[in-house]
Chain A
Amino acid sequence: MPALLAENVTAGYGRTPIINDISLTVEKGTVTTIIGPNGAGKSTFAKTVVGILRPTTGRIMVGDLDITRMPGHQIPRHGLVYVPQNDNVFKNLTVRENLEVGGFAAQGNTDARMEEILSVFTDLNKAREKRAGYLSGGQQNLLAIARALMVDPSVIVLDEPTAGLSPAYTDVVWNQVERIAATGTGVLVVEQNVERALKHAHFVHIFVAGSNHVHGLASEIASLDLAAIFLGRAEANRS
Chain B
Amino acid sequence: MSAMWYYVFTLVFFLFDYFILAMGLNIQYGETGILNFAYIGFVAVGAYVTGATSLPNAAGTGQQYILGWGLPFPLNLLLGGLAACLLAVFVALIALRRLRTDYLAVVLISVSLVLYDVINNYVPLFNGADGLYNVPEPFASVLKLTTNSFVPFFAALTGVVALLMWWVMSRITKSPLGRTLRAIRDDDGVAATLGKGVFRYQLTSMLIGSFYAGVGGGLIIQFGGSFNPTAWLPAETFVVFAVILVGGVGNNVGLLVGALLVETLLIHLPAFLPDIPGHPGLIEYIDTIVVGVLLMVMLWFRPQGVVPERVRRSPFSLATRSSKTLDDRAIIVPTNDGESTPVIQQETANG
Listed in ascending order, the chain A residues whose CB lies under 8 Å from chain B are 50, 52, 71-77, 81-82, 84, 87-94, 96-98, 100-102, 104-105, 107-109, 112-113, 115-117, 119-122, 125-126, 128-131, 147-149, 151-152, 172, 175-176, 179-180, 182-184
A97 to B342, CA, bound (A): 23
Q: Nearest-CB distance from A40 to chain B (Å)?
A: 22
List A contacts of B346 (CB < 8 A). 119-120
Asked if B224 is an interface residue, CB under 8 A from chain A, the answer is no
Would you mind naming 5 contact pairs between A and B with Cβ atoms under 8 Å apart? Answer: A81-B193, A90-B183, A100-B176, A100-B179, A183-B345
Q: Nearest-CB distance from A217 to chain B (Å)?
A: 24
Neighbour of A179 across the interface among B182, B313, B344, CB < 8 A? B344
List B contacts of A84 (CB < 8 A). 189-190, 193
- The answer to whether A104 and B196 have CB atoms under 8 Å apart is yes
- The answer to whether B331 and A119 have CB atoms under 8 Å apart is yes
List B contacts of A108 (CB < 8 A). 333-336
Q: Nearest-CB distance from A123 to chain B (Å)?
A: 10
Closest-by-CB residue of B relative to A127 is B318
Mask, B316-334, CB within 8 Å of A = 1, is 0010011000100111011
> Which residues of B (170-191) have their CB < 8 Å from a CB of A?
176, 179-180, 182-183, 185-187, 189-191
Across chains A and B, the number of contacting residue pairs, with CB separation under 8 Å, is 140
Q: Nearest-CB distance from A60 to chain B (Å)?
A: 15
List A contacts of B186 (CB < 8 A). 90-93
- The answer to whether A152 and B198 have CB atoms under 8 Å apart is no
Listed in ascending order, the chain B residues whose CB lies under 8 Å from chain A are 176, 179-180, 182-183, 185-187, 189-198, 250, 309, 311-314, 318, 321-322, 326, 329-331, 333-336, 341-347, 351
List B contacts of A148 (CB < 8 A). 194
A184 to B341, CA, bound (A): 10
Q: Nearest-CB distance from A98 to chain B (Å)?
A: 8
List A contacts of B250 (CB < 8 A). 92
Neighbour of B193 across the interface among A82, A92, A175, CB < 8 A? A82
Q: Nearest-CB distance from B96 to chain A (Å)?
A: 15
A87 to B180, CA, bound (A): 17
A112 to B330, CA, bound (A): 8
- The answer to whether B343 and A90 have CB atoms under 8 Å apart is no
Q: Nearest-CB distance from A70 to chain B (Å)?
A: 12
List B contacts of A76 (CB < 8 A). 193-195
List A contacts of B196 (CB < 8 A). 73, 101, 104
Closest-by-CB residue of B relative to A134 is B311
Q: Nearest-CB distance from A168 to chain B (Å)?
A: 12
- The answer to whether A90 and B329 have CB atoms under 8 Å apart is no
- The answer to whether A93 and B182 have CB atoms under 8 Å apart is yes
Neighbour of B333 across the interface among A94, A100, A113, A130, CB < 8 A? A113
Neighbour of B182 across the interface among A50, A90, A180, CB < 8 A? A90
- The answer to whether A129 and B336 have CB atoms under 8 Å apart is no
When A and B form their complex, which 4 residue pairs have the shortest distance between CB atoms, in order from nearest?
A: A105-B195, A76-B195, A90-B186, A179-B344
Closest-by-CB residue of B relative to A113 is B333
- The answer to whether B195 and A50 have CB atoms under 8 Å apart is no
A115 to B176, CA, bound (A): 18
List A contacts of B329 (CB < 8 A). 115-116, 119
A184 to B339, CA, bound (A): 15
List A contacts of B322 (CB < 8 A). 125-126
List A contacts of B331 (CB < 8 A). 116, 119
* Known interface pairs A104-B194, A109-B334, A115-B321; 10 further A-B residue pairs with C-beta atoms within 8 A, sorted by A's residue number: A52-B193, A75-B195, A94-B313, A101-B180, A104-B176, A105-B195, A108-B335, A113-B343, A152-B341, A179-B345
